Structure formats: structure tokens, C-alpha cells
Amino acid sequence: MAITSSAVQRLVCGVLFLSIHLAEGDLRYSFPEEMRRGSVVGNIAKDLSLEVSKLSARKARVDTEGSDKHYFDINVRNGDLVISDRLDREGLCGDKASCVLKQEIMLENPLELHRVNLHVQDINDNAPQFNKELIQIDISESASKGARFPIEEAHDADFACSPCACMGFLQVLRFPPTVQKHDSQVN
């Protein structure tokens, strides 16, 4: 059996068409990290034009790509993609600028696979950390209004690419300063 060049061309065109069709069919959702269990990310039934009444019979489920951790479920009663476990962006993606989890929606009878890219957005849930617990700054009484006083940089896990400086003072200076008097009695 000989394979002709036109058969190969048709096969290549078919594969390219199928791969383009699959790439266009990917779902993308964005949501903030640390959402509660049961929070809705999106509705896959609506977004994939699936009949909600058939999700249970078709055993709709989320399959993780290359991970044993299961962060999402499908509510087969309404088609919602919901969070099933706490997501910490820094724990999942570290210092990467973008945090995308790749999952697959699987349906049976007939078998269907739909890729889902889930963009985990950072929230400011980490306080900045200085190298020292207390930073002491001596400010002269003759300091000009608006004068700046440099302090060391703070590291903020939420903004690993751009260190934070001058995040604030741990103690508030009071003006005029309070004076503590110690009574001493001379006998």
C-alpha cells in the first residue's frame, strides 16, 4: 500500500485544522488567590455550550496536568467550576510573574477533553519584611519639612520582582515628644 503525497498533505492539513480548533477552544479564567472553598471560578457548561442535565451522566470532572493536588471541582447540578482547596499563589508559582494552572475538563460518552487555563491573581496577603525588627532613625529638630530619610529595603513576597522601600514606621513619633518624669526624693 503506497501513501501518496496528496494523502499526506490532507492528513497534515487535518491535523493542523484540529490543533487550531483545539487551541481556540481553550477556556481561560482569572481569579484571586485565597478564595474560599466552593467559590465559583466560572460556568463551564455555559462557556462550553454543554447541557447541564447531562454533566452527571457524562461523568464531568477536572483532571490536573502533572499534579497530584486537586484544586477544582465541577458542580454537576449547575455546571460551575468551583474551588475545592485553598490556593496560595506564592506557594504554587513562587516568584514567577504569571501563575497559570493548566487543567482539563473531561467528559465521557462520547469522550471530550477541554483545556482550561486558570490564572491565579496575586492579592497583597504578605506583609513586607525588613532585615531588622526595629529601625531607629535620628531626626534633627532642624530637619526641613518634607525631608527624606532613607531606610533599608523591605522584601514583600507579593512583589518579589520589585522590592519595597519606605513601607512605614513601626512606631509613630509623637510631637511634641512626651517626657517621662521620675520623682526622686532627696533626704
pLDDT per residue rounded down to tens, the chain (187 residues): 556 666 556 655 554 444 434 444 689 999 998 899 999 999 999 999 999 999 999 999 998 766 678 899 999 999 999 999 988 888 888 878 789 999 999 999 999 999 999 999 887 655 667 777 777 788 888 888 888 877 777 666 555 444 443 344 434 444 444 445 555 454 4
**Structural domain count, the chain:** 2
Q: What is the pLDDT of residue 18?
A: 45
Say what the pLDDT of residue 45 is.
Answer: 94
101 touches 140 (CB < 8 A): no
For residues 164 and 130, the answer to whether their CB atoms sit within 8 Å is no
Instruction: For residue 71, give the CATH number of its domain.
Output: 2.60.40.60
87, with CB counted inside 10 A (0-12, 13-18, 19+), is buried
Q: Say if 16 falls within a structural domain.
A: no
pTM for the whole structure: 0.56
Residue 109 CB-density burial (10 A; 0-12 exposed, 13-18 middle, 19+ buried): exposed
- Strands in 92-164 per DSSP E: 100-107, 112-121
- The residue segments making up the domain with residue 113 are 27-121
Same domain, 92 and 169: no
